[in-house]
Structure 1
């Protein structure tokens, strides 16, 4: 039965969870919060404990995800309520099932339940893997290498299992004779993962690089409200001519700053998601200009284009267009995912697949921003043995650091280098092992240009690219088997 001391643990765990995922991500908090929350639920009655935990997590997630989730009012709290439910269910399943198992094996219930439910939520909800526990360990490079085998699910499993092991030890009053074997087993698994990750980093080969420049959003030409106005139903012909002039100035800015980076020996230029804005009727003329630019400067030019067609039901084509040094279109890809809300209501939805282009610098590919929140979408990049992901992206201030670090796990999972340039957010480049090559904050950089020397033709084969989410499915099957065993042996 819950006591004052156990409610104190609930409070402590909930406060730590504020820093578990969201605006203030602290990796250590993600390890500690489940420890205290799990100990609370083991002391409480199942239903009462579930309700108290759900409410506490609802408050914590509402605080940490304010402005991170781009919704307001009831819609925001509805999403937070769903997240709280998904996060609370593993504790309930552990409370009901773990006491039925004897010994150290009971510690596997909680991490298996956490990953199974997190995986199902990622497959079924329109936000993909937002909030996944594995993301919290960004920056721990040896541990991040586990994503090349299990995806982010294996990392999340280790974190959740730690909570279960600590609670198991706690219930035995940390008496070493009673907990020695279990603690040493967990320590051995954790050490093996860290050692393997460290060796993977240490023995990564040295490779040649290519200079890539990302040209960010120019300040003072077009305001976001003007873009929204273009796709309004009552957009007028006079406004069309006014915005066309601003689009031309926007285009000139991108070409001029790109020319400067070409002179500094950049061989690939990348423009962020939908940053090059053009009216549908002007698209052909603009692309001809861009082809001449790529041909005259002997570069690959990846254009994040927003092609706008006022007056139609879905007036925005969100494209990634790669032009080669011959001035030819290597590929043109329309974004296949859309952020729920405004973007989903106005974007033409692409059907994929994510294209690949063979170049002297390796196989290039360009998923767009939100695509990278769905590991099953990006796995085709690894399966196609791509070498570099050129990612045009567009974020908002509250997720400046968060969304970039999430994207970097896709590079590790699929063994590709990544160059991600973002409008209104954080940009970064990493090698196939997740090591940072460059970073830029759009809100603190004046010219918004990021340059990196990125490994060329250096894609790495990964187990995850071949087997996908097999580890997560293993957690699902294991959890269902335990539930079935419990039902038939009740």
Structure 2
């Protein structure tokens, strides 16, 4: 048995990592097992990422284990491994959403950037928060939440890929909590969730000794209690009116879709590529698309006669040739006039000249007039590959007896600046035709709950191949229909008739996110100053150092 060497031992430390000068440098080190922390944190991170099978509570818990792990390892070891855990959760999300292999090369680098930004929040906790603990435990707990919000906001701001990755979306079903979004946007919800994890991690480092952790735990508990109480008050006292209007969302049946698909196969346009449709026999193409459009028109007639005052079609389920567009609009205009209803048509529009393919929504009023023709402003990367031209991004609105109406199309709703336009134009009801896919059917619908809270308007989101929902201005789901569990998807909702509810967030925008960005920079600067000051002190600032932990 070899004699012990200095590499096997180090000075023991207290719970904050402060070296005990009274102990011998030859005292054996206690090497705590840390691998289980990483494994638990990684597993919870996979469950926490917003997906069809996410678990809301996991979003509160997973950072605790990963931050604790990083704090017990040297930075050069802990930070990359935590980054790898975040990468695992991202890959799991891409796989669950059927995006891991069925994407172009643009998506993977974008989500790699998101992974790096999120990992930087954990790096900030390891490198910044631990240096601030000796100065202020409360300040140190703020490092992770402000850094995480900064990462989420920078992703939205710089990558222009929507606001994916925001932790707050996982809390979409927590009605009192998500009311905070009416002031801070989704970023405030992310902050509250991340701050909880940071406080628990700090308390863990202090051995959960109540006299030591009491003040900071009570500060967080008080803030959380106020947020939940304010959310409950908002739900109770700003509840929607009892005056409602009947709204219907309709989609074509599986039989109609199969009939159209078979006809497109025979016409030589199985995938509906713009160039193939333009080159095909236009009569055959029109006949191939007809089963879906005919059924949607029949469903429009049925629901209008049943009393629906607004009818919403799904995104691009209907395919329409430019030469057939006017006839379709005229047919629906007759229904709208006869039944005194608004119909928001949505379809893929094929032309023989550029742009050959457009993704549009057309609102027909009870006068039979066309109130808007809106082109999707943010085509997905897959749509861009198909040649769909983006619109100008000017969100249309129109007055109606049930409040101002507006529309965006599916992925547009992931861009806060577009949804803020609708609020700025006092829209009370936003119509959102959508088209999702298996593995992704819930995500957009769940994100829409926070959009409504942020901007104070109701939404009708009718999705082909996804979850259709009607949501009021406080994020309550009024109606829901799942494309994959029903043959003929029709969603009926009684939606409150009222003006848009003004929100702080719609007025001030992302001020909270900018404040977090500034706070992250300030805390990093303060930690740097603390480190320089520690190096100048005779004892080398040992109180700010973490213990050396072996593998």
Moved more, 231-240 or 110-119: 231-240
User: Tell me, what secondary structure is at the counterpart of 1:352?
Assistant: coil
Residue 221 of structure 1 corresponds to: 259
Is 1:98–2:129 an aligned residue pair? yes
Residue 211 of structure 1 corresponds to: 246
1:177 aligns with one of 202, 206, 211: 211
In the superposition, relative to structure 1, how do residues 9 and 3 fare at CA in structure 2: closer, same or farther (>3 Å)?
farther
- Once the two structures are superposed, the pairs formed by residues 237-256 of structure 1 within 5 Å of their partners are 238-256=280-298
Residue 393 of structure 1 corresponds to: 434
CA contact (8 A) 2:199 2:216 kept: yes
2:459 aligns with one of 418, 428, 444: 418
Is 1:84–2:119 an aligned residue pair? no
1:27 aligns with one of 33, 51, 56: 56
Taking the aligned partners of 1:352 and 1:236, their CA distance within structure 2 comes to 26
CA contact (8 A) 2:379 2:389 kept: no
Residue 331 of structure 1 corresponds to: 372
1:320 aligns with one of 361, 366, 388: 361
User: Tell me, what secondary structure is at the counterpart of 2:252?
Assistant: coil
Residue 41 of structure 2 corresponds to: 13
1:344: Cα distance to partner? 5.4
Residue 288 of structure 1 corresponds to: 330
User: Tell me, what secondary structure is at the counterpart of 2:484?
Assistant: coil
CA contact (8 A) 1:421 1:427 kept: yes
CA contact (8 A) 2:56 2:171 kept: yes
- Over aligned residues, Cα RMSD in angstroms? 2.1
In the superposition, relative to structure 1, how do residues 302 and 234 fare at CA in structure 2: closer, same or farther (>3 Å)?
closer
* Pair member with larger Rg: 2
Residue 168 of structure 2 corresponds to: 134
CA contact (8 A) 1:231 1:309 kept: no
- Once the two structures are superposed, the pairs formed by residues 250-399 of structure 1 within 5 Å of their partners are 250-310=292-352, 312=354, 314-343=355-384, 345-399=386-440
- Once the two structures are superposed, the pairs formed by residues 115-154 of structure 1 within 5 Å of their partners are 115-154=149-188
In the superposition, relative to structure 1, how do residues 235 and 318 fare at CA in structure 2: closer, same or farther (>3 Å)?
closer
Is 1:51–2:85 an aligned residue pair? no
Matched pairs, number: 489
Taking the aligned partners of 1:35 and 1:146, their CA distance within structure 2 comes to 23
Taking the aligned partners of 1:260 and 1:384, their CA distance within structure 2 comes to 32
Taking the aligned partners of 1:346 and 1:55, their CA distance within structure 2 comes to 36
User: Tell me, what secondary structure is at the counterpart of 1:317?
Assistant: strand
1:408: Cα distance to partner? 1.7
Q: Which has the higher contact order (CA 8 A, sep 6+)?
A: 2
Is 1:202–2:236 an aligned residue pair? yes
- Gap runs ≥5 in structure 1: none
1:3: Cα distance to partner? 5.7
In the superposition, relative to structure 1, how do residues 69 and 468 fare at CA in structure 2: closer, same or farther (>3 Å)?
farther
Taking the aligned partners of 1:142 and 1:318, their CA distance within structure 2 comes to 36
Deviation per residue, 1:173-202 (Å, 9 max, x gap): 000000001000000000000000001111
Taking the aligned partners of 1:386 and 1:79, their CA distance within structure 2 comes to 32
CA contact (8 A) 1:127 1:340 kept: no
Taking the aligned partners of 2:98 and 2:124, their CA distance within structure 1 comes to 28
CA contact (8 A) 2:250 2:300 kept: yes
Residue 38 of structure 1 corresponds to: 67
Q: What TM-score do the two structures reach when normalised by structure 1?
A: 0.95
CA contact (8 A) 2:260 2:291 kept: no
CA contact (8 A) 1:38 1:167 kept: yes
Taking the aligned partners of 1:245 and 1:345, their CA distance within structure 2 comes to 22
CA contact (8 A) 2:187 2:513 kept: yes
Taking the aligned partners of 2:199 and 2:472, their CA distance within structure 1 comes to 34
1:235: Cα distance to partner? 4.7
Residue 148 of structure 2 corresponds to: 114
Taking the aligned partners of 2:422 and 2:260, their CA distance within structure 1 comes to 34
Deviation per residue, 1:450-480 (Å, 9 max, x gap): 1100111242110000001110010011112
1:92: Cα distance to partner? 0.6
1:47: Cα distance to partner? 2.3
1:240: Cα distance to partner? 3.3
- Structure 1 segments, 4+ long, off by >6 Å, are none
Taking the aligned partners of 1:109 and 1:95, their CA distance within structure 2 comes to 10
CA contact (8 A) 2:403 2:499 kept: yes
1:360: Cα distance to partner? 0.5
1:118: Cα distance to partner? 0.9
Q: What TM-score do the two structures reach when normalised by structure 2?
A: 0.85
CA contact (8 A) 1:231 1:308 kept: no
User: Tell me, what secondary structure is at the counterpart of 1:272?
Assistant: coil
- Gap runs ≥5 in structure 2: 1-16, 18-29, 533-551
1:345: Cα distance to partner? 4.7
1:308: Cα distance to partner? 1.1
